[in-house]
Amino acid sequence: MIRLLFKSREAILGAAILVLVAAIASRFPAFVAPSNLANVFNDTAPLIILALGQMVVILTRCIDLSVAANLALTGMAVAMLNTVMPGLPIPFILLVALCLGALMGLVNGLLVWKLDIPPIVVTLGTMTIYRGIIFVISGGEWINAHEMSDTFKAFPRAALFGLPVLSWIAIAVAAGFAVLVGRTPLGRTFFAVGGNPHAAVYTGIDVGRAQCAAYVLSGALAGLTGYLWVARYAVAYVDIAAGFELEVVAACVIGGISIAGGIGSVGGALLGALFLGIVKNALPVIHISPFWQLAISGSAIIIAVAFNATSSRTKGRVILKKAEHAL
């Protein structure tokens, strides 16, 4: 039992996070005050949501580099919708954001599924295309706080049982994914496709369709986060969340999700995102320049991937060698 615990990536990562928090707390006790920890969690919520979406994509041996551009485009679209029609109810805005994000995910998924284009190429391409479309629809203009309606901005900050709605959404998505990945046929399909695509085909799974489904999920979550992001920071412009896709992939890699597909867990993605979130929030507290953050997350990725490779013993495959589709 203890040996099992020692071998589990989640346990090791969880312990690393606890050590990190304890080390910070020993010198800056204010950091571990419940209110501050809640702030850190809330700040990390977008990363958690996106990392969970990215997880299912990586499970199927794909990668989605377009999430940040998807987030920014959806955010801009709903912000513009809000300026034109300020009276729209929040559930409708959420629905629009989810659908728009899912649509962009579907484009990725169809290109991977129907045209067999390597996932990294597809999402590198759509990343620049989605980013460019933001400029085209907004004309490069910013949408500022005073142009958004109050209800639009208030939703992610509204407190519910002491936590903002944004945090609750991250918790709900994590719970939903725990059920989806562990308890539904679709969730097991993701593992089957990533673990052994050939065997998956023989058991009657359409590999391409499963990959497409993963992209739609990831896209829908990126769209949802797009609205939450824009409403929380009360500003929308072309470059919001630029480079965030790498942070999302980093969270997954740190969380022990194998880039070779088929290995990963909701807990891992959650802890990976939390690790990056804690580092990001702790730097100013311990008086280290925020310019260190990029180098730290880069080192964390390298250490995590090296650690995963030595602990799992199964040889990692290059992601470029994609899963073969049944023809």
Residues of this chain that interact with another protein (CB under 8 A) are: 63, 111, 115-118, 120-122, 124-129, 131-133, 135-136, 140, 198, 201-202, 238, 246, 249-250, 253, 259-260, 289, 291-302, 305-306, 309-310, 315-322, 324, 326-327
Q: Which is nearer to another protein, 49 or 249 (CB)?
A: 249
Q: What's the closest the beta carbon of residue 135 comes to another protein, in angstroms?
A: 4
Alpha helices in 115-236 (DSSP H): 119-138, 150-154, 165-183, 185-195, 197-202, 207-233
Query: From residue 283, how far is each of 37, 56, 177, 280 by CA, in Å?
Result: 14, 30, 30, 6
Q: Which is nearer to another protein, 144 or 299 (CB)?
A: 299
**Is 156:232 a contact under the CB 8 Å cutoff?**
yes
Secondary structure of residue 164 in the 3-state scheme: strand
Cα separation, 226 vs 245, whole angstroms: 13
- Residue 59 CA, chain-centre distance (Å), reads 13
Cα separation, 221 vs 177, whole angstroms: 11
Q: What's the closest the beta carbon of residue 132 comes to another protein, in angstroms?
A: 3
Q: Which is nearer to another protein, 27 or 315 (CB)?
A: 315
Q: Which is nearer to another protein, 9 or 131 (CB)?
A: 131
Q: Which is nearer to another protein, 98 or 236 (CB)?
A: 236
Token code pair at residue 321? 């060698």
Q: Which is nearer to another protein, 188 or 317 (CB)?
A: 317
Q: What's the closest the beta carbon of residue 312 comes to another protein, in angstroms?
A: 12
Token code pair at residue 214? 């993963």
Residue 180: which residues within 8 A CB-CB, separation 6 or more?
A: 186, 187
Q: What's the closest the beta carbon of residue 77 comes to another protein, in angstroms?
A: 16
Q: How many residues does the chain have?
A: 327
User: Which residues on adjacent β-strands are paired with residue 163?
Assistant: 160
Q: What's the closest the beta carbon of residue 298 comes to another protein, in angstroms?
A: 3
